[in-house]
Amino acid sequence: MLNHFDFMDSEEMKRRTKMFAIAVARLTEKLPDNLVNRVYKGQIIRSSSSAGANYRASRRAKSKPDFINKLKIVEEELDESLFFLELLIEFNKNFETEINALYKEGETLLRIIVSTIVSSR
């Protein structure tokens, strides 16, 4: 029941969601320290790490509905991460290339999660 990924196995997805959270955190360490960045950096660190943590939790789901529910949380957290990446680009144009690379990975992870939710129903 729990191995629903068309694109990769669960270990690879665990690794990618973890690496996404780490890459986001490393990016935030490079950004200038100002009020806007402080708020957005805190939010994106929480949402990107929550996506990975909730993905891991989905692997221990007690039932198919529990699995889907946990993946829906991952979907929300990844979407939130993308939103904060968009905001960070607006205030940190000199980091646009690096932020866009993270955005692309976040979009890919989100597509995989949405596809998994759809195929699991």
- What is the distance between the alpha carbons of residues 110 and 45, in angstroms, rounded to a whole number? 17
Work out how many domains the chain is built from and give that number: 1
Q: Tell me, what's the pLDDT at 112?
A: 96
Give the domain range for residue 19: 10-120
pTM as predicted: 0.91
121: confidence class by pLDDT, cuts 50, 70, 90? confident
Question: Does 3 map to a domain?
Answer: no
Per-residue pLDDT of 52-74, as tens digits, reads 999 999 999 999 999 999 999 99
Phi, psi of 18 (to 5 degrees): -65, -45
Answer yes or no: are the C-beta atoms of 117 and 72 closer than 8 Å: yes
CATH classification at residue 36: 1.20.1440.60
Question: Does 107 map to a domain?
Answer: yes
